[in-house]
Amino acid sequence: TSIEYQVTHGNTATVTGLPAELRGVYDPATGKFTITGIPLMAGLISYTVTASGDCEPAIIHGTINVKPDVTIALTSAVNTAHQEPCINHAITSIEYQVTHGNTATVT
């Protein structure tokens, strides 16, 4: 999802504070300033958009909170993920660690 600002009575707009994978583009025909891209790291990104025209510039500050991806890792012994138990014999427990997730489903 992009972030859009409407610039009125301005002829340029720029953004500072964004990582290289995010960028801001100003379209003078529509007055729209759009921030797009795909963030590569989790964390809080603080940025400043400055719109300039004939008078004093307009400045607005914003933040983007990039959440980390969910990860899953086998924490029990490696051979527990692939078992061939006999009928009426228990399997060895299989344990995973889920990080940054709300739920986990086994199918």
Are residues 59 and 7 both part of a single domain?
Answer: yes
Are residues 62 and 95 both part of a single domain?
Answer: no
Are residues 40 and 60 both part of a single domain?
Answer: yes
Residue 104 is predicted with a pLDDT of 85
Residue 10 is predicted with a pLDDT of 92
- pLDDT at 107 > cutoff 90: no
Are residues 95 and 79 both part of a single domain?
Answer: yes
User: What's the rounded Cα separation, in Å, for the pair 27 and 13?
Assistant: 9
The tally of domains found in the chain comes to: 2
- pLDDT at 102 > cutoff 90: no
Are residues 73 and 57 both part of a single domain?
Answer: no
Are residues 51 and 75 both part of a single domain?
Answer: no
For residue 70, name the pLDDT band (cuts at 50, 70, 90). very high
Are residues 12 and 50 both part of a single domain?
Answer: yes
Q: Which residue has 């290289």 as its token pair?
A: 20
Are residues 75 and 47 both part of a single domain?
Answer: no
Q: What's the token pair of residue 90?
A: 């228990």
Q: By residue range, what is the domain housing residue 85?
A: 68-107
For residue 103, name the pLDDT band (cuts at 50, 70, 90). confident
pLDDT digits (tens, 9 = 90+) for 33-54: 999 999 999 999 999 999 999 9
Compute the mean pLDDT over every residue in the chain, rounded to the nearest whole number. Answer: 95
Looking only at the bridges linking them, the beta strands covering 58-66 and 43-52 are antiparallel
What CA–CA distances, in Å, run from 13 to 39, 54, 57, 73?
Answer: 21, 13, 9, 44
Are residues 50 and 37 both part of a single domain?
Answer: yes
Residue among 4, 61, 74, 62 nearest 33 (CA): 4
Are residues 83 and 106 both part of a single domain?
Answer: yes
